[in-house]
Structure 1
Amino acid sequence: MPPKAQPKGKKPAPDFNPVVAFYLFCGTHILSALYAPVQDCDEVFNFFEPTHYLDHKHGLQTWEYSPEYAIRSWAYAGIHAAVASVARLLPGSTKTTQFYFLRLALGFFCACCETRLFATIARTLNPRIAVFFLIAMVFSPGMFHASTAYLPSSFAMYTNMLALSAFMDWKGGLRTAAGIFWFAVGGILGWPFASVLVLPFIAEELFLAVQTGSIYDTAKRFLDGAVRSFCILVVSESINSFFYRKFVCVPLNIVLYNVFSGPGRGPDIYGTEPWHFYARNLILNFNIWFILAAAALPLQVLSQLFRKQPSSKSSLVRGIIFVSPFYLWLTIFTLQPHKEERFMYPVYPFLALNSAISLHILLAYFGSSDPRQLVGKIPAKLKLGAAFLLVLGAIDVGVWRAIGMSTAYSAPLKVYEPLHENGGSKPGDTVCLGKEWYRFPSSYFLPKGVRAKFVKSAFTGLLPGEFSEANTGFGLFPGAWLIPSGMNDENKEDPGKYTDIDGCTFMVDSSLPSWTPSELEPDYIGDTAAWEAVKCERFLDTAATSTIGRLGWVPDLPFVPERHRRRDKQFQSCPFSFPLHPARVTEHVFPCHRRAMMESIKLRAREACNSQHAQAASKAFQEYVMDNPRPLVYIALGVATFIWASVLILRRFKPSKTPSRRGSPDPEKPSKFKVDRPPGVWIPSDFKRPAAEPYPNWSVETSKPRPYRPFRYGPKYNTTMGLRTMDWNEWIELDNHYLSFHGKKAARLASDRASKLYHTAPEAYDGAVELLEELCSYLPQRYPSMFKKTSVGMDNLVTGESLNIVERPLKEDPMVMCARQIQDDLAIMFERPDGQYYLLAGCILLAGFWRLEDKLGMALSEIHTSGSVPEYKTKLEKGMMNFFRRVKPENPVVRNNYFIQVDEDLAWSHSIGPEDGEEGTIGWFSAEKDKAIQHHYFRSERQSLRRLPRSGGVVFTIRTYFHPITEICDEPYVPGRLASAVRSWNGEVSQYKGKERYETVLLEYLDKRHEEQLANGLDLEKEDDVRAYPW
C-alpha cells in the first residue's frame, strides 16, 4: 500500500477543495434564481411558455413553435417541464413555485458543470488558475444572469464546460469522444451554433495525430464521438417529430433560418448593433476579467518567447488551443449584424478560463524576485497589495452591478402576487399587457385559470399567440402540432393577437417620469376613475437616470448627488379593475412570501394528522393520478435526474482513499540553501538522521513487495527528474523476496565477475564506511525482527550473518557489506574540485541493463550521455547538476522509473547481449523481436538519494521490482494505463527503452486485457480513488 506517513518539513499549499467550490457556485446561483430579473423576453415566450403548456395545458405560442417553421425543440422544453413538475410535491406549491424551482434546478446543474471544470483546471493546469477561474465565474454579473437563465445558450454553456473538461483532462487517456458528445448535446438540444467551439479541439487532436503518427486511434475516437452524437440527435428529433407530428430536424431548421433565410427574414429583422456591442457588453458583465481574457493569447506567446526554458511545441499548441475558443466565438458573432447579450453565454466559461490564465501569467512575471529585472526591485508586499486590490476591485464591481440589476429591474417578478391571495382573482380572469408585454415573466405567475392577453400598443411586430387547447379527438399536446393562425417568420403584426380592453380584468402597466402617454399607450395608472392600483413596485427609469445609476446599485442617501439617485426615477405599477384591495406599495416581498408558505406548511401538517383527512387526501391523490398521468411521469423523470446528478457529484468529489503525491523539490527553482564552500570541499554537518520507526507488522515471510506502477497516461511523455520528498522511515524497503535477492547477490559475489560488480575508490572509502554505519543504525530500528544492533555492528537474525564495522581492516569492501544486507544496489558520488560529481563507490549486482565497470569514475553528465538517456542535455542536465550541488543531508528524496524486459533474468538482461560482451555489442538491437508475452517482464526501480553528513557523498539506493507482465495486468487499470504510457514515448525514449522489439506483442496484449476489464465493469472514473502516482 502507498505510504501513509507525511513528509517532514514545510508542507505544500493545499489545493482548493472542489466541494467548497461547488458550494460557492451553488450559493451564487441560488441568489440568482431567487432575485435575478428575467432579462430576455425570448426566455419567457420561447421557453417558459411552452414548458407551461406541457405542464398546465395552456400557454403562449411564438411563431417558432408553429409546425410550419419548427425551429424550437420540444425535447429541450420537455426536459425542463419534467423538472418543473417536481415542484408540485412541495407543500403550498403554486405555479410560481415551479418557476423558481426550475431556476434553482438550472443553477444546481450549472454549479455541477462549473465544479467539474474547476477540478479539471486545478488538476491539469494549475490550482491557482482554477481559483481565479472560480472568482471570475462567481463574482461576474454575466454569470449571475446566465447561470439560471432558461435559454438554449445557457444550456450550451453548461455542456461546453463538460466538453472543455473532457478535452482538457487527459488523465486516463484521451476523452475525445466525451468532448465531442458534450458539444453535440449542447448543439442538438440547445443551440446548434455552440458546436462550433469544438473546432479548436478537433484541430488539436489532428495535430497530435500527425505528430505522434496515431491517425488510426484518432479516427476511432472521432467515430466514437460521432456515433454518440448521432444517438442524441436521433432521440431528440424523434421527440420533436412526435410533437410536431411530422419529421423535423430542429437544429438544421435553426441554422437554415438564421444563416440562409432570404431578404426580409432572418435574425437581422429584429435589430442590429454596431461591431463594438459585445466588447461594451462584456466589459459591463465581466469588467477586468474581459480585458484579461482578451490578453490571454498575446500573453501566452510572450511568455513562451521570453521563458528561460521554452516548453515543447505540443505544450505551446495545447496552451493556445485552450484560449482560442473565446477568440473564435467573439470574432464570429462580432461579424453578425444582429447581436444579443445571450449569444455570448456559451463562451462565458472560456472567457473566465482565459482571464484566469492571463492573471496567472502576469502574477508569475510580476512575482519575480530577480534583482536584474525591474519588477524584481519592487517590494513584494507592494506587488501583493496591488494584485489583491485588482482582484478585490473586480469582485466589488461585479457584485455592485449584480445588486444594481436585481434591485432595478425585478418589479415584474413581484407585481403579480396579489392575484394569488384569497379573492385576488378567479378562473376566467384576464391579465392584459400593453406596452409592458415584453416584461411579462410568464404564465407561471398567474393563478390557475387566469390567462394573459395583449392589448394594442405602439409595438408593430408579431406578438405570441396561444397554444391550441383542443381536447377531444386530437391526442396528446395538440397545440404542438396544430398549425396556428396568423404566424409568420417576417415579424409582421397580426391583429388577431390583440384583445379588446373591455375584456381585461386586470391591466399591467408602467408609469415612468420620462414617459409620455399617447393614443396607443394611454396613462392607465393615471385613469383612477377606471382603474385602482393594487400593487406597485419600483422599476428603474433608464432615460432619467445617470450612467452610474444605470450601471449598478446606488443608495438613495442624502450625500449621493441627485443626478445619480434612483428615487423618483423608478416606478412600475399594476393597476387592477377589480376594486377589492386598497392601493399599497410593497418593497419587501420575499420575506412575506416565505412566512406565508411556512404558515401553509404548518396548517397542512395539522390537517395531515387527522386520519379522515389523510384517507380523503389519499383517495383524492389516486383519482388525480388516474386523471393526470403526465405530471406523475414528469415528477418521476425529475426525481431520477436529481438522484443521478447527486450521485455523480458525490462520486466525483468524494475524498480519495489514496494519499496524494508528496511535494516534489524543484531543481530549477532558486534555493534558500547557499553553498558557501569551494567545489570539492565538504564541511561535515552535525545532522543526525531521525530514528526510524519499526515497520508495523513486517515479516520476511508475509510482507509483499510494494506495488509501484510509475507510469502515467499519455499522450504526452514528460521527461523530468521526478523527485519526491522521502520520509526517513522509508529509506530502505524490504519484503518477502528478501531471501531470493540475498541468494542472487551472494551467487553474483561468488562468481568470476565479482570484482567487476563492486568498487570503492580510496577517496570514497570513508563515505562507504559512513554508509555502512548508517545502515547498521537504521536497519535494526526499522526491521527489529530481522536485525539486531550489537556493540560492534549488527546481526542479521534471518541469514545468521554478523557485521563487525569497527575492526580494521574490514573483512570485505564496505559497499559489499552494505549490499549483502539489503535488496538494493548502491552507489555513491563525490564532488571533485572541478564541481562535477563522480561515481567513486558502488556495488551494482542486479542492474539488468548497465554495468558498474562501464560507469565507474565517470562524471554525472558522462554517465547519462554514455547511456543515451533521452533528452538529458536539453531537459535534465542543468536541474540535476543544481540538485547535486544543493542537496542537504536533512532533505532526502526518492524517484521511480520503469522498463520492459523480454527475458526473466533479474541481474542481467541477456536478451541485449552477454554481460561480458564488448562495448558496442550490447544493446536492444540484439534482442529477439516480438517474443511471446510470457517472456515480457515489468522492471520497476525505486531510487532514493541522500547526502551523507560526514563525508558529503550522495548515496543512491536502487531497489528493483521485477514482475511478469501477465501478473501485473491482473490489477485493475494497469493494462490501459501502461498501454497509454508506452504509446506516449517519443522516438528518443522509445529507442532507449527498446520499444521497437516488443511493442506489437505488448500493446496487443495490454489492449486486450484492458478491454476485458472494461467488459467486466471497470469504472474508469473511480481510478483516482484507488491509484495515485507512483502506485
Structure 2
Amino acid sequence: MTCRKVSIALFCLLAVSRLYLQPRYSLISDCDETFNYWEPLNLLVRGFGKQTWEYSPEYSIRSWAFLLPFYSIIYPLNKFTELESVYNFYITRMALGLLSFIAEFQLHTQIKKSLSHRVANIWILFQIFNPGYFHASVELLPSSVAMILYLFSIKYTLRYLSTNQSASFTKSLTFNFIAGILGWPFVLVLSVPLCIHYVFNHPIIGSIRTAFDCTLMLLIVSVIVIGTDSAFYGKFAPVSWNILFYNVLNASEEAGPNIFGVEPWYYYPLNLALNFPLPVLFFSVIGIFHIRLWPLWLSYITWFTVFILQPHKEERFLYPIYGLISLSAAIGFSKLLTFSKLFKVLKKILKLITMTVIILQAVSRIVALITNYTAPLDTFSELYGIGPQGEKNIEVINVCTGREWYHFPSSFHLPDGYRLQFIKSGFDGLLPGNFKESVPLLETVRTIPEGMNNLNLFDPNKIIELDECTYIVDMVQHANSDVDVFDPVKEMESGAWKPLFCNHIIDVDHSKILGRAFYVPEKIASFIERKIGKFWNSVYGVQFVDYCLFERAEVSPEEPSSIPL
C-alpha cells in the first residue's frame, strides 16, 4: 500500500473519530469544564446556568470572548430549529472535533513537506490512537482549544524552520497569540524558543521589522479579546492578565491554585503513561534528538519542566504539548526504522508488533474511560423523556445532586424549566451559584453574586433542602448519614424515592488501579485470572454501581424514554 493510500485511510479514520466517536462517547474529565464553560455557554444560549466565582466581575478570570465562537454556531440552531437543547452539547463538541481535524490535516501536509510522508502518516496514526487527545480535543476548555490552535502554530514553525521565511514565523506566533489571549495565557511560553531561534538567525533590521509585525498582531488579538470581555463585564477586564496574576503573581498557600490540591512531581509522568501508549513515549524521547527542530523540542521540555515544578497539577495542563509529543514520537519511530540494521523481514515484524501494542493500549484505555465514567451524560439526558416538554411558564423543576455534584455534565442536559440544585453533602468547598435569570444578559454578567470567594470557602446559600427536589441523581450506595442528607439505598428501601433510569459507573473505591485505567475483555481477563489469579486480582478488577435518576415515589409522570443521539 502506498503512502498516499495509507494517508487516505488514516484521514477517514481520523474524521470518524473527531466528528462522531469523540463528540458522542467521550467523557467529561474535569468539572471545571462543566461549570466554567458549559454553564456560561448555556446562559448565553438559554438564559440560565450555574455560576462560579471566576465569572464574578469582582475577579473576572474567565473569558466570555472564548465562548462567543461556539455561541455563534449553536444560537442559530436554537433560534430556527426545535432541536432538544442537549444537542447543543454534541454540536459544540463536533465543532471542536472539526477544528482539530482541520489542524491535523494541515499539519500532516506540512510534515510531509518538511520531513517525509512516512513521518506524517506515523504522526496521524499516533494522533488517532492517543487516549489523552481522544477526550482533550472535544473538551470545552481553554487548554484544549490552545492545544488545537498550537497545531497550526507548529505547522508554520516547521515551514519557517524549512524555509527561513519571516512570514511563516509571524503566522506561527499569531496562532499562539490567539491561543494565549483567547484561551490560556501560559501557552505564550511555547513560542519563546522560536523567537530565540529567529533573533540568532536574522539580521537586526529584519528582526525589528518582524518584531513590529508580531507586536501588531498581538495588539489586534488583545484589543479584540479584551474589548469583548470588558464589554461583557462592564469594566476593563484583561482576563489573561487576571489569570496570570491569580495563578502565579498572587499565589500562596492561602490563595491561588494550590488551595485546590497539590500533587507530587511524578503525577505528570504517570499521567502521560495513561494518556499515551508507552512505545509512543519511548519514541518521543528519541525524536527530540532531531536537532533541526530544536525550538520545538525546547518548547516541549520547557513546558513539561515548568509544570512539573508547580505544586498544583491537573491533567489538562499538559494538553498544549500533546501534538509535540506525537510529532517527536513519529520522528523517533521513523529514525529507528531507517537506521535499523535488521533484515527487512525482522523490521516488518518489529513494526507490526509496535503498532499492535500502540493500538491495543490506546483502545483499551479509551474503552475504559467510556465504559467506566460516562454514565452521567446519558443519565441526565433521560430528563428529556420525562414530563411536559416545550411548555412555557411552567413551574421550575429542581434536579438535585449532592455528593455527585462534580459529575454533572451541563445544563444542556436539562430540558427547559429544569434547574440543577445542590443538596447538603460531605463537600465543604465553594459550590457554584446561579446566574440571575429573567434580566438582560449584560445585567446578569455584570452583577456581583453573593457568597462568592476565591478561597474555596463553603457558602450555605448554595444548597437547598431535600424537600425542594423533584429529582435527584446519585449512585446507589450508602451515604454518610453525618454529612449527606440523601441516602439512595435507605430512600429506596423506605419507598420515598424510586429510580427512573440507571446506568453503570465504576465504583472507584472497590476497583483496582489497572481496572480503572484499562479495559480488558471479560474472557481474556478470566483466562489471565486462572493463570496468575492472586497477582491479577491485586492489580485488576472492576466493580460498578448503579448511577440513577431518582424521583419522589408519590410523583408519577410518564415513563422516560431514551433519546437517540
TM-score, normalised by the number of residues in structure 2: 0.91
* Aligned residue number for residue 235 of structure 2: 246
- Rg comparison, structure with higher value: 1
Higher mean Cα deviation, 64-73 or 83-92? 83-92
User: Number of aligned pairs?
Assistant: 542
Q: 2:556 aligns with which of 571, 580, 601?
A: 580
Matches of 1:215 and 1:267, distance apart in 2: 41
Aligned to 1:428: 396
Contact 2:398 2:419 in 1 (8 A): yes
| Corresponding residue of 1:207 | 200
Matches within 5 A, 1:855-934: none
Counterpart amino acid of residue 38 in structure 1: I
Q: Say whether 1:455 aligns with 2:426.
A: no
Do the aligned partners of 2:133 and 2:322 also contact (CA within 8 Å) in 1?
A: yes
The verdict on how the C-alpha distance between 1:116 and 1:20 changes in structure 2, with shifts beyond 3 A counting, is farther
SS at match of 1:94: coil
CA distance in 2, matches of 1:402, 1:326: 25
Say if 1:534 and 1:582, in contact at 8 Å, map to a contact too: no
Aligned to 2:511: 545
**Distance in structure 2 (CA, Å) of the matches to 1:456 and 1:395:** 44
Q: How far apart, CA to CA, are the structure 1 residues paired with 2:471 and 2:305?
A: 46
Matched residue, 2:153: 163
The offset of 1:556, in angstroms, is 4.1
For 1:476 and 1:538, how far apart are their aligned partners in 2?
38
Query: 1:33 — aligned with what?
Result: 23
Deviation at 1:326, TM superposition (A): 1.5
- Residue 296 (structure 1) shift: 2.7
Per-residue deviation, 1:139: 0.5
Q: Distance in 2 between matches of 1:13 and 1:101?
A: 35
**Paired position in structure 1 for 2:564:** 593
- Equivalent residue for 1:532, pick from 476, 491, 498: 498
| Aligned residue runs from structure 1 range 174-573, under 5 A | 174=166, 175-209=168-202, 214-263=203-252, 264-288=254-278, 289-297=280-288, 299-300=289-290, 316=291, 318-366=292-340, 368=341, 378-421=342-385, 423=387, 427-471=395-439, 475-512=440-477, 517-521=480-484, 522-528=486-492, 529-557=495-523, 559=526, 561=529, 563=537, 569-573=544-548
- For residues 294-338 of structure 1, what are the alpha-carbon distances to aligned partners after superposition, in whole Å with 9 as ceiling and x for unaligned? 3333x43xxxxxxxxxxxxxxx4x322232221111101000000
SS of aligned partner of 2:502: strand
Contact in 2 for aligned 1:556/1:566 (Cα 8 Å): no
| 1:452 partner amino acid | L
**Hey, what's the Cα distance between the residues in 2 that align with 1:279 and 1:60?**
34
Cα separation, 1, equivalents of 2:189 and 2:9: 32
Q: Is the 2:10–2:125 contact (alpha carbons within 8 Å) kept by the matching residues of 1?
A: no
Q: Deviations over 1:178-211 (max 9, x none)?
A: 11110000000000001110011111111211xx
Q: Is the Cα–Cα contact under 8 Å of residues 511 and 571 in structure 1 kept in the other structure?
A: yes
Task: Report the Cα offset of residue 509 of structure 1.
Answer: 0.8
Secondary structure in 2 matching 1:268: helix
Given that 1:540 and 1:570 are in contact with CA atoms closer than 8 Å, whether structure 2 keeps it comes out as: yes
**Deviation of the 1:554 alpha carbon:** 3.1
2:379 match: secondary structure:
coil
Is the partner of 1:593 in helix, strand or coil?
Answer: coil
- 1:409 to 1:384, Cα distance in 2 relative to 1, 3 A: same
- What residue is the counterpart of 1:113 in the other structure? 103
* SS, match of residue 508 in structure 1: strand
Equivalent residue letter for 1:491: N
1:89 offset after TM fit, Å?
6.7
Q: Using a 3 Å threshold, how does the CA distance of structure 1 residues 497 and 89 change in structure 2: closer, same or farther?
A: closer
Q: Distance in 2 between matches of 1:517 and 1:534?
A: 23
Partners of 1:103 and 1:270 lie apart in 2 by: 27
Q: Give the letter for the 1:547 counterpart.
A: I
Q: What is the percentage of aligned positions where both structures have the same residue?
A: 32
Q: Provide the secondary structure at the position in 1 that maps to 2:550.
A: strand
Shift of 1:511: 2.4
Displacement of 1:543: 1.9
In structure 2, relative to structure 1, the CA distance for the partners of 1:433 and 1:516 (3 Å cut) is: closer
1:83-102 aligned within 5 A: 83-88=73-78, 93-102=83-92
Contact (CA 8 Å) 1:511, 1:573: kept in 2 or not?
A: yes
For the residues of structure 1 that align with 2:119 and 2:521, how far apart are their CA atoms? 35
Could you say what secondary structure the match of 2:66 adopts? helix
Q: Flag the structure with higher helix content.
A: 2
- How many Å apart are 1:177 and its aligned residue? 1.2
- Which ranges of structure 2 fall in alignment gaps of 5 or more residues? none
Which of 36, 51, 59 pairs up with 1:61? 51
Query: 1:43 and 2:18 equivalent?
Result: no
The offset of 1:519, in angstroms, is 2.3
Kept in 1: contact 2:184–2:240 (CA 8 A): yes
Partners of 2:338 and 2:267 in 1: CA distance: 33
- By how many angstroms is 1:24 displaced? 3.0
Give a deviation string over 1:955-988, Cα, whole Å, max 9, x none: xxxxxxxxxxxxxxxxxxxxxxxxxxxxxxxxxx
Larger deviation, residues 396-405 vs 17-26: 17-26
Counterparts in 2 of 1:269 and 1:568: CA distance versus 1, 3 Å: closer
TM-score of the pair, normalised by structure 1: 0.51
Task: Give the 3-state SS of the residue equivalent to 1:575 in structure 2.
Answer: strand
Shift of 1:91: 5.9
* TM-aligned CA distance change 1:349 to 1:411, over 3 Å: same
Supply the distance in 2 between the matched residues of 1:568 and 1:24 (Cα, whole angstroms): 32
Deviations 1:893-923 (A, max 9, x none): xxxxxxxxxxxxxxxxxxxxxxxxxxxxxxx
Query: Is the 1:87–1:97 Cα contact (8 Å) retained in structure 2?
Result: no
| Aligned partners of 1:555 and 1:565 also within 8 Å | no
Distance 2:36 2:179 in 1: 17
Cα deviation for residue 18 of structure 1 reads 6.3
8 Å contact from structure 1 (residues 549, 565) kept in 2: yes
Distance, in Å, in 2 between the alignment partners of 1:15 and 1:405 is: 33
Give the Cα–Cα distance (whole angstroms) in 2 for the partners of residues 447 and 455 of structure 1: 20
> Per-residue displacement from partner, 1:809-836 (whole Å, max 9, x unpaired)?
xxxxxxxxxxxxxxxxxxxxxxxxxxxx
The offset of 1:262, in angstroms, is 4.6
8 Å CA contact 1:283–1:291 kept in 2: the answer is: no
> Compared with structure 1, are the counterparts of its residues 262 and 324 closer, same or farther at alpha carbon in structure 2 (3 Å cutoff)?
closer
Checking the alignment, whether the CA contact within 8 Å between 2:96 and 2:138 is kept in structure 1 is yes
The runs of 5 or more residues in structure 1 that have no matched partner are 1-11, 301-315, 369-377, 595-1031
Residue pair 1:506, 1:576 contacting (<8 A) in 2 also: yes
> Secondary structure, in 3 states, of the residue corresponding to 1:33?
helix
Q: How does 1:784-795 map to 2 (within 5 A)?
A: none
Mapping 1:678-689, distance limit 5 Å: none
What letter is aligned with 1:25? L
**Could you report, residue by residue, the CA deviation over 1:482-529 in whole angstroms, capped at 9, with x for unpaired residues?**
1000111111111111111111111111124xx653322242243122
CA distance in 1, matches of 2:343, 2:34: 54
- Residue 254 of structure 1 aligns with an amino acid whose one-letter code is I
1:1027 alignment partner in structure 2: none
Write the letter of the residue equivalent to 2:330: A
> How far apart in 1 are the matches of 2:441 and 2:388?
32
Q: Which amino acid aligns with 2:284?
A: A
SS of the residue 2:399 aligns to: strand
Secondary structure (helix, strand or coil) at the match of 1:573 reads strand
Q: What CA distance in whole angstroms lies between the structure 1 residues aligned with 2:382 and 2:557?
A: 9
Contact kept? 1:427, 1:448, Cα under 8 Å: no
* AA at the equivalent of 2:196: A
